[in-house]
Amino acid sequence: MVKICCLGAGYVGGPTMAVIALKCPSIEVVVVDISQPRIAAWNSDTLPIYEPGLDEVVKECRGRNLFFSTDLEKHVSEADIIFVSVNTPTKTRGLGAGKAADLTYWESAARMIADVSKSDKIVVEKSTVPVKTAEAIEKILMHNSKGINFQILSNPEFLAEGTAIKDLFNPDRVLIGGRETPAGQKAIQALSDVYAHWVPQDRIIATNLWSAELSKLAANAFLAQRISSVNAMSALCEATGADVAEVAHAVGKDTRIGPKFLNASVGFGGSCFQKDILNLVYICECNGLPEVANYWKQVIKINDYQKNRFVNRVVSSMFNTVSGKKIAILGFAFKKDTGDTRETPAIDVCKGLLGDKARISIYDPQVTEDQIQRDLSLNKFEWDHPVHLQPMSPTTVKQASVVWDAYSATKDAHGICILTEWDEFRNLDFQKIFDNMQKPAFVFDGRNIVDAEKLRQIGFIVYSIGKPLDSWLKDMPAVA
């Protein structure tokens, strides 16, 4: 029986291994992690991450050919194929701080694999890593190999949170990069054979190592670029009276462009986009390509500008101050159908409002109070923050409360900011909400999910990103 071990039980490792176990009943799959609470959660009825469809997949396979364990050394030693899905955060100090990926966890994983291995292994990069990481890992394994052969493969994940299980069941492509040697090609075939249990052969693409590593960064950079492009257009639409949804629809009808990732919003978030683009910027700079680096930097700058612009719009609309005013925040996760808050635009918007001394009341159906308070109190490093969005000290978080109901969040509020496109926010009783708010009552729709005209008929003053401005807002332009 082929044995697979995955180091890292997070958003990538857990769902990916669960689907491999489901689709390959003849393969034993073990997910290992040093975090005892995380592994305990994977073995419980309440999984540590929320992802539609994940519960059913895990519960069908767990205990049969899918296992979760903290015994890293045992399972790494026994495995034929080892997926490494550990965190690769952006460095916060030292060489490349603010851009380069921190490979501390990756290096320690490689050293542990070398220490405990007693048989040949295929080691698969599953985390998003900078180009040439495989070469560094290869060196560590080779110099500590004790005669054991290791083959390094790059198999980047292209999952979208919220649709990860669907994406795993029916991927656009599975990319496997390896060495162009007989042993490297044999390793590529071994991993291809795993995916071939359910993925059509023409969607399994073999490349060299560096192409696979760079393809992941490039894909995320291109997607983020589309979002920043439509968000840049949204500012122009507001200034001219155009409707960004109509512009995006017209642009998306061009088959060369297509309609996906053209929804204007308060900005992109998630664990990958910003991190991967900064990583790409750093690689370009290291390779003497400053013009290319500056091109990709601009994608991040527009994203920061969009969040800043949203906060400015809220403050300027409400008589240029939100000091002491209650603002309801509907949605804290970076997108619907996930509890993930990494790099969520909500953090920067909330910090911007707290910076103007607002009182904020936050509701998200999948994010815990502990997570929200931690996100708001962390002085996380983020490149080139606009001044309005500088990290606040933890004491300001006293001005943020977390509630478990949209109606509690909005009661007695002066304004509402919709920051995640949860379906339930489309169907709220806005008449009831309006009746219980301070007047004038404002809605700032950062996801363009509500019917602005219906809300205006109720009595709300509505701001929708990239849409023709409410006459009230025209009289109170957003300050720079």
* Residue 427 is labelled as binding a ligand: no
* Residue 14 is labelled as binding a ligand: no
* Residue 154 is labelled as binding a ligand: no
110 vs 175: CA distance, rounded Å: 22
Token duo for residue 65: 């050919």
What pLDDT, on a 0 to 100 scale, did the predictor assign at position 196? 97
What pLDDT, on a 0 to 100 scale, did the predictor assign at position 477? 59
**What are the residue ranges in the chain where pLDDT is below 70?**
89, 101, 128-132, 379-397, 475-480
pLDDT tens digit string along 243-256? Answer: 999 999 999 999 99
Token duo for residue 391: 């990290």
Per the confidence metrics, is the pTM higher than 0.85? yes
Helices (H), 24-67: 36-42, 54-61
* Residue 124 is labelled as binding a ligand: no
pLDDT tens digit string along 84-98? Answer: 988 776 777 788 777
User: How far, in Å, are 9, 25, 81, 84 from residue 194 at the CA level?
Assistant: 20, 11, 10, 16
The residue type of 14 is G
Q: What does the DSSP 8-state code read for residue 88?
A: -
How many Cα atoms occupy the beta-carbon half-sphere of 180 within 13 Å? 6
* Residue 90 is labelled as binding a ligand: yes
Taking Cα atoms as reference points, which of 479, 203, 170 lies closest to residue 315?
479
Q: What is the CATH number of domain 241-464?
A: 3.40.50.720
What pLDDT, on a 0 to 100 scale, did the predictor assign at position 456? 97
122 vs 83: CA distance, rounded Å: 8
Taking Cα atoms as reference points, which of 131, 72, 125 lies closest to residue 283?
131
Q: What does the DSSP 8-state code read for residue 426?
A: G
Token duo for residue 271: 């664990």
* Residue 456 is labelled as binding a ligand: no
Token duo for residue 22: 């489901």
* Residue 284 is labelled as binding a ligand: no
* Residue 324 is labelled as binding a ligand: no
* Domain over 3-199 is classified CATH 3.40.50.720: yes
Token duo for residue 151: 């083959």
Taking Cα atoms as reference points, which of 16, 53, 46 lies closest to residue 31?
16
User: Strands across the sheet with 174-178, in order?
Assistant: 66-69, 28-32, 3-7, 81-84, 121-125, 150-154, 174-178, 204-208
Question: Partners of 137 in the beta sheet?
Answer: none
What pLDDT, on a 0 to 100 scale, did the predictor assign at position 394? 43
Q: Are 76 and 5 in contact (CB under 8 A)?
A: yes
Active site residues: 272
Domains 3-199 and 241-464 share a fold: yes
454 vs 445: CA distance, rounded Å: 13
What pLDDT, on a 0 to 100 scale, did the predictor assign at position 157? 87
The SS3 assignment for 2 reads coil
What pLDDT, on a 0 to 100 scale, did the predictor assign at position 389? 44
Domain ranges for the chain, please list them: 3-199, 241-464
Classify the C-alpha dihedral 111-117-122-125 as positive or negative.
negative
* Residue 8 is labelled as binding a ligand: yes
What pLDDT, on a 0 to 100 scale, did the predictor assign at position 123? 94
* Residue 256 is labelled as binding a ligand: no
Token duo for residue 113: 């694999």
What pLDDT, on a 0 to 100 scale, did the predictor assign at position 479? 53
User: How far, in Å, are 98, 283, 311, 318 from residue 357 at the CA level?
Assistant: 28, 39, 13, 13
Task: Find where tokens 């949605």 sit.
Answer: 331
* Residue 272 is labelled as binding a ligand: yes
* Residue 138 is labelled as binding a ligand: no
Task: Find where tokens 């997926």 sit.
Answer: 83
* Residue 10 is labelled as binding a ligand: yes
* Residue 274 is labelled as binding a ligand: yes
